[in-house]
Amino acid sequence: MRRTAAFIRLGMIAMLAACSHAQVQTTESYLGPPVARPDHIFVSYFSLSPDQVRLDQGIGPRIMRAAGDQPSGAQELQAVRDTQAALAERLVDRLNKYGLPAEIATNPPAGARGLLLQGQIVSIDQGNRTRRVLVGLGAGRSSVSADAQLYALSGTASPRFMTAFQGQADSGRAPGAAETMGAGAAGQRIAASTALTGATHAGAETRRTTDTAEATALADAIALRIGQFGVAQGWIPQTALQ
């Protein structure tokens, strides 16, 4: 039993390590003079058209869409709204933790000073949850990709472009139930380890909302880039990002 428990713990750690991850790069760097620390960072909802959404291709969701009364366009629109909200809310949360006062404001007040973060969600792909649960290791991977731009606001003057980012987050390569079944056969504990490790992954996948999980990871990575920009400008210390 101890060996089984140890294996399960290791399996859970591996799954967590392989969960949603994001990569963001700076596509246009700021080369101007030092910028004064902003009093506010206004974060707008990232734009996206519903036709850039690919809904979950798993067996269950496809059956539910075929049998449901809600048109696919409405589901795609809901996926857009969920992703937009998750991105904006997480960005504000992370920036505030870095010591950079941020708030959601699609239209900053007239004459506002500070920074404006705008963006475009390039795509939302919900992948195939059935394959993620059963196969894993990247099969059925879901993803969200977006571009972001940071502007300086100086009263009544036009927003001044500062820097831009491009990023993507996906569901990672967590092992699925089939993978953990094979590993769990050792020690004649196949029934226990299969049930527990398989259920752990399936439960984690069920609890996570595909779009918001990737959107949250992407927001963390974008916020970190902005935080690094703030460090370079002398707004916050490097330790604020830890």
The total of other beta-carbon atoms located within 10 Å of residue 47's CB is 14
Give the Cα separation of 109 and 59 in Å (integer).
Answer: 47
Q: Cα–Cα distance between 80 and 74 in angstroms, integer?
A: 10
Q: For residue 155, is it within any domain?
A: yes
Q: Is the pTM value of this prediction over 0.95?
A: no
Helices (H) and strands (E) in the chain, counts: 7, 7
pLDDT in tens, 144-186: 999 999 999 987 788 999 999 999 998 765 544 454 455 444 4
Domain that holds residue 32: 23-175+210-235
Q: What's 161's domain CATH number?
A: 3.40.50
- Measured distance CA(209)–CA(242) in Å, rounded: 27
Q: 224 in a domain, yes or no?
A: yes
In a domain, 192, yes or no: no
Whether the pLDDT of residue 3 is over 50: the answer is no
The size of the chain, in residues, is 242
Whole-number mean pLDDT of the chain? 75
Burial zone of 146 (CB within 10 Å; 0-12 exposed, 13-18 middle, 19+ buried):
buried
> Would you state the pLDDT for residue 38?
93
The dihedral through the CA atoms of 210, 138, 16, 191 has a sign that is positive
Say if 49 falls within a structural domain: yes
Asked if residue 61 is part of any domain, the answer here is yes
- What mean pLDDT comes out for the span 49-73? 61
What total of structural domains would you count in the chain? 1
Is the Cα dihedral 36, 42, 43, 44 positive or negative?
negative
More confident residue, 110 or 221: 221
Closest CA to 81 of 105, 49, 41: 49
What is 190-231 written as a DSSP string? HHHHHHHHHHHHHHHHHHS-HHHHHHHHHHHHHHHHHHHHHH
- CA torsion sign for 70, 76, 77, 83 is positive
Instruction: Inform me whether the pLDDT recorded for 125 exceeds 70.
Output: yes
Helix (H), strand (E) at residue 79? helix 72-97
Q: What H or E segment, with its residue span, contains residue 147? A: strand 143-154
